[in-house]
Amino acid sequence: MAESKKVNINDIAERAGVSIATVSRFLHGHLEKMSDKTAARIQAIIEELNYIPNASAVQLMTQHSGLIAVMAADVDDYFSTEFFKGAVSILETAHYTGVLFDANADIDYEQRQLTTIGRQNFDGLIMQPLTASSQQMQTALTRNLPVVLVDRDLDETIYDTVVTDNYVAARDVALYYQAHGVESVIVISEPLAKVSTRKERFAGVQSVYADVTLLEVDANHVRSELLVTQLVADVHQQGKKTLVFFFKERLMLDIMPFFVRKQALSEDLQLTGFSDTKLARDLDPHVRLIEQDPFLMGATAAELLVAKLTADGVSDQGDAKKIVIPATFS
Amino acid sequence: MAESKKVNINDIAERAGVSIATVSRFLHGHLEKMSDKTAARIQAIIEELNYIPNASAVQLMTQHSGLIAVMAADVDDYFSTEFFKGAVSILETAHYTGVLFDANADIDYEQRQLTTIGRQNFDGLIMQPLTASSQQMQTALTRNLPVVLVDRDLDETIYDTVVTDNYVAARDVALYYQAHGVESVIVISEPLAKVSTRKERFAGVQSVYADVTLLEVDANHVRSELLVTQLVADVHQQGKKTLVFFFKERLMLDIMPFFVRKQALSEDLQLTGFSDTKLARDLDPHVRLIEQDPFLMGATAAELLVAKLTADGVSDQGDAKKIVIPATFS
């Protein structure tokens, strides 16, 4: 093994009779610009000399690490890890490695993570943003890194973005329940302000039920049992056929058990929500779910990013794309 | 901004009258070996020259990226993202950045990810291993990287490891139910072979209930409703007070809804399991949970890793530590 330290990328290039750039391309798996014969020759020499690439050296020459940062708003959400899996599935076919960062549901922390990403040799960023400002993102990153957003929009659309059709999905679900005789809707959500997905979902419900009730809660401090007791009592008193609509899976999974435990669900009190696991629906026949496709959203974001990375020249930022992946209701 | 490209780490060092190593230490936040005055001077010069560090250049000089790879067996498990959060919380106090890799519950894929980590400039690795072989890990990594394991043991203990007290926790829970009149135990688990945690848990139950029934299932292909129907019928026929014991949270959350929906739980059919969320317990009074502390496990692993990274010289691999974080039952 000691011997392998003496071998460097120049030795490989010289022995193979190719440029250093060609060896570097080979090391990063970008084989599209070389013949099979060249690739085989480089591979043989690498094996012969027992060469272990030094990533720093390769990076200095190519300014290319092969690493893509994927930043989730909160990795504890199933949505986050699924869109990461989707992104990685595409990135690796293009010989990139995706690694996951956690913004920990904290905008200041997200800013610091972005600064770290900007300083390190990441080739690109796929991000589910907490911040609503692309100006803030740019400032934190400090350099011009290819970026694709997932799940949420920013106030200006300089980045390509992959989202669910939040407004349409929420409106269609509201129409479904209206057609089935539901008279009253209670939305349970984290605060709507500043998060594009929540605002769009609320607008969708409101387009059908103008007098929708909104309960804004803090996901980390919700007193689920008390909330359910109160809510069930109110619904009974009103005597209206009611739908409780959760905007976030984790809130639904925290609160729903108390509806189930009280056996409070019926044709007169039904639940729905955006959810990425089937658990809630398995628990009670009066629950229907709106399922996003986070894996496909991540994969699509990765496709957009890879297209930017492999395009010649600087990407045209005026040309930001927005791709909508529909949610399904069942 | 164009001007900033001309400034390099040598310029900063020269202007500050310190070595390049000192500037590098500053850039990585290792301020313990320099005076406050030196740090302030370097900071002022960096701001004055609008210097943006090039991570590759710093890495070549220091062989130090500040990046730590954290690899989870499967990022979709809440355990994984929580131990990642715990690890990051400690790493950042030591000015390291933790990024999450996903082995996707696939040993071959895990090997490829390890090879990527070995090739890139990661300073260390915290890992929940799928493989049971430290030889295999070493081979895939190709270099001598500081490693700490979480959750699972390997066949040889060359790495520091942080685990739950699986045997003791499972045995104590079995003793609790024995004292409360439970006559029969059914364990539902993914295949025990090769995964140390599962084998230890089973041995713990078996030390109390010699004739425990073991149902080994594939988490991705379990037919939950059918399984529950069968199991409830069997329990009724046997007429014994029975405990169903889940070894994995995701299995529990997939299968349990059908017990709840059938209203099958009672003093005569109770559930328990290792679980990292409270959901299952909120659903029914006949459910008790064994809670690990993945956040603390990750934080402890990070402390061990940071100790290795800041220790002078090569770590003594013969001295592998094993730290046990007890689980709680409630």
Q: Which of B42, B62, B82 is the last residue of a domain?
A: B62
Q: Is residue A269 part of a domain?
A: yes
Q: Which of A43, A62, A81 is the last residue of a domain?
A: A62
Domain containing residue A38: CATH number: 1.10.260.40
Residues B156 and B58 in one domain: no
Question: What average pLDDT does the segment B193-209 reach?
Answer: 94
Tell which of A77, A80, A81 to mutate to test the B interface (max B CBs under 10 Å).
A81
Q: Mind listing the pLDDT tens digit for each residue in A168-217?
A: 999 999 999 999 999 999 999 999 987 889 999 999 999 999 999 999 99
Cβ atoms of B79 and B276 closer than 8 Å: yes
Tell me the C-alpha distance between A271 and A288, whole Å.
Answer: 7
DSSP letter assigned to residue B311: S
Q: Comparing A92-101, B31-40, B188-197, which segment has the lowest mean pLDDT?
A: B31-40
Residues of A in contact with B223 (CB under 8 A): none
CB burial of residue A138 (10 Å; 0-12, 13-18, 19+): middle
- Asked if pLDDT for residue B4 goes beyond 50, the answer is no
Beta-carbon separation of B279 and A52 below 8 A: no
Domain containing residue B260: CATH number: 3.40.50.2300
pLDDT at B278: 84
- Asked if pLDDT for residue B31 goes beyond 80, the answer is no
Tell me the C-alpha distance between A29 and A39, whole Å.
Answer: 10
What percentage of residues in chain B have a pLDDT greater than 70? 91
Question: What average pLDDT does the segment B239-254 reach?
Answer: 94
Residues B247 and B188 in one domain: yes
- Match 């089937």 to its residue by tokens: A278
- Asked if pLDDT for residue B108 goes beyond 60, the answer is yes
Enumerate residues 6+ apart whose C-beta is below 8 A from B226: none
- Asked if pLDDT for residue B54 goes beyond 90, the answer is no
Per-residue pLDDT band for B7 (boundaries 50, 70, 90) equals confident
- Asked if pLDDT for residue A87 goes beyond 90, the answer is yes
Which of A97, A260, A284 lies nearest to residue B116, judging by beta carbons? A97
Q: Where are the beta strands (DSSP E) in A18-74?
A: 67-72
pLDDT at A164: 94
Beta-carbon separation of A75 and B63 below 8 A: no
Q: How many domains is chain A built from?
A: 3
Residues present in chain A in total: 330
Q: Is residue A329 part of a domain?
A: no
Residues A267 and A183 in one domain: yes
The CB density around residue B242, as the number of other CB atoms within 10 Å, is: 22
Residues B312 and B287 in one domain: no
Residues A46 and A116 in one domain: no
pLDDT at A113: 94
Beta-carbon separation of B102 and A121 below 8 A: no
Cβ atoms of A174 and A242 closer than 8 Å: no
Tell me the C-alpha distance between A121 and B31, whole Å.
Answer: 23
Residues B48 and B110 in one domain: no
Question: What average pLDDT does the segment B27-55 reach?
Answer: 74
CB burial of residue B115 (10 Å; 0-12, 13-18, 19+): middle
- Asked if pLDDT for residue B136 goes beyond 70, the answer is yes
Residues of A in contact with B84 (CB under 8 A): 75, 100, 102
pLDDT at A4: 38
- Look at phi and psi of residue A263 and say left if phi exceeds 0, alpha if psi is from -120 to 50, else beta: left
pLDDT at B195: 86
DSSP letter assigned to residue B52: -
Residues A237 and A156 in one domain: no
Give the closest-approach CA distance of B297 to chain A in angstroms: 16
Which of A65, A84, A120 lies nearest to residue B102, judging by beta carbons? A84
Tell which of B51, B282, B289 to mutate to test the A interface (max A CBs under 10 Å).
B282
Which of A55, A57, A100 lies nearest to residue B99, judging by beta carbons? A100
Tell me the C-alpha distance between A253 and A160, whole Å.
Answer: 31
Give the closest-approach CA distance of A214 to chain B in angstroms: 24
Per-residue pLDDT band for B1 (boundaries 50, 70, 90) equals very low
Residues A178 and A278 in one domain: yes
Beta-carbon separation of B100 and A97 below 8 A: no
pLDDT at B237: 95
Give me the DSSP letters along A194-221.
T-HHHHHHHHHHHTT-TT-EEEE--TTS
Per-residue pLDDT band for B204 (boundaries 50, 70, 90) equals very high
Question: What average pLDDT does the segment B156-165 reach?
Answer: 89
Residues B95 and B190 in one domain: no
Q: What are phi and psi for residue A214, nearest 5 degrees? A: -115, 120
Residue bearing the bigger pLDDT, A192 or B310: A192
Beta-carbon separation of B55 and A261 below 8 A: no
Give me the DSSP letters along B225-243.
HHHHHHHHHHHHHHT--EE
Beta-carbon separation of A84 and B65 below 8 A: no
Q: Mind listing the pLDDT tens digit for each residue in A105-137?
A: 999 999 999 999 998 889 999 999 998 888 888
Per-residue pLDDT band for B52 (boundaries 50, 70, 90) equals low
Residues A192 and A271 in one domain: yes
Residues of A in contact with B67 (CB under 8 A): 120
Residues B47 and B99 in one domain: no
Q: Comparing B24-33, B122-131, B168-177, which segment has the lowest mean pLDDT?
A: B24-33
Cβ atoms of B126 and B282 closer than 8 Å: no
Tell me the C-alpha distance between B288 and B278, whole Å.
Answer: 9
Residue of B nearest to A252 (CA): B279
Per-residue pLDDT band for B313 (boundaries 50, 70, 90) equals very low
Residues of B in contact with A282 (CB under 8 A): 224, 254, 257-258, 261
Tell me the C-alpha distance between B197 and B247, whole Å.
Answer: 9
Per-residue pLDDT band for B123 (boundaries 50, 70, 90) equals very high
Question: What average pLDDT does the segment B148-175 reach?
Answer: 92
pLDDT at A2: 38
Q: Is residue A330 part of a domain?
A: no
Tell me the C-alpha distance between B156 and A199, whole Å.
Answer: 54
Structural domain that includes position B150: 67-163+295-329
Per-residue pLDDT band for A53 (boundaries 50, 70, 90) equals low
The CB density around residue B296, as the number of other CB atoms within 10 Å, is: 15
Cβ atoms of B326 and B163 closer than 8 Å: no
Question: What average pLDDT does the segment A146-166 reach?
Answer: 90
Give the closest-approach CA distance of A178 to chain B in angstroms: 26
Residue bearing the bigger pLDDT, B57 or B326: B326
Residues B101 and B185 in one domain: no
Beta-carbon separation of B99 and A99 below 8 A: yes
Question: What average pLDDT does the segment B208-225 reach?
Answer: 93
- Match 């690694």 to its residue by tokens: A99
Tell me the C-alpha distance between A314 and B304, whole Å.
Answer: 43
- Asked if pLDDT for residue B62 goes beyond 90, the answer is no
- Match 């989202």 to its residue by tokens: A163
- Match 């994984």 to its residue by tokens: B80
pLDDT at B270: 97
Beta-carbon separation of B85 and A76 below 8 A: yes
